[in-house]
Amino acid sequence: AGGAGGRGRRRGRAVKEAIYAGTFDPVTCGHVDVAERAAHVFGRLTVAVAEDPAKTLLFPVEERMALARESLAHLDNVEVTSFSGLLGDWARARGVHTLIRGLRAFSDFEYEFQMALTNRKLAPDIETLFLMPNEDFSYVSSSMVREIASLGGEAEKFVPAAVAEALRRRLGPR
């Protein structure tokens, strides 16, 4: 019983599936860590790679999906797909009511908080849960990885091996 009044459940059912969405350009060790954490909490996790035409991206969506699949292949309850449009609408169409967002540092909080509240207004039946990556990855961002790789730095310290190779192919040695 307890005093939670059914919180943590949606209309009498335990939450079983979540969506972890992002551009993943490229997927980093921090993304993998957050996906692993979410995959341990939920029976099924969909990693949704955004087809984001508003951003200038290094990798096309098909390659970002392939890199995410390879990086997350060790998780048997994870599916990688792409989406476009409003995430809340896409999640609702799939029957999923939980979104996962990673928080690396306090500097992420304001943006993520704003996005979560906007999503709540647009899709009040969908909850956002924040997960923190291992502190070893709390400072790693895709934009930092792209900059390091473009300047000839060792990106493999921050990304899975397949992603490091894709960065070398895309950017060449510097």
**Catalytic one among 7, 55, 121, 174?**
55
**Catalytic one among 31, 97, 101, 146?**
31
98, 129 Cβ separation under 8 angstroms: yes
- Residue 26 makes CB contacts below 8 A (sequence gap 6+) with 58, 59, 64, 67, 142, 145, 146, 159, 163, 166, 167
Neighbours of 90 (CB within 10 A): 20
Buried b (16+ CB within 10 A) or exposed e, 143-159: eebbebbeeeeebbebb
Residue 10 is among the residues annotated as catalytic for this protein: no
**Catalytic one among 37, 97, 101, 104?**
104
Residue 107 is among the residues annotated as catalytic for this protein: no
Residue 31 is among the residues annotated as catalytic for this protein: yes
- Going by C-alpha positions, the residue among 140, 107, 122, 127 that lies closest to residue 31 is 140
Residue 16 is among the residues annotated as catalytic for this protein: no
Cα separation, 146 vs 141, in Å, equals 9
**Catalytic one among 71, 97, 142, 146?**
142
Q: Name the residues annotated as catalytic.
A: 31, 55, 104, 142
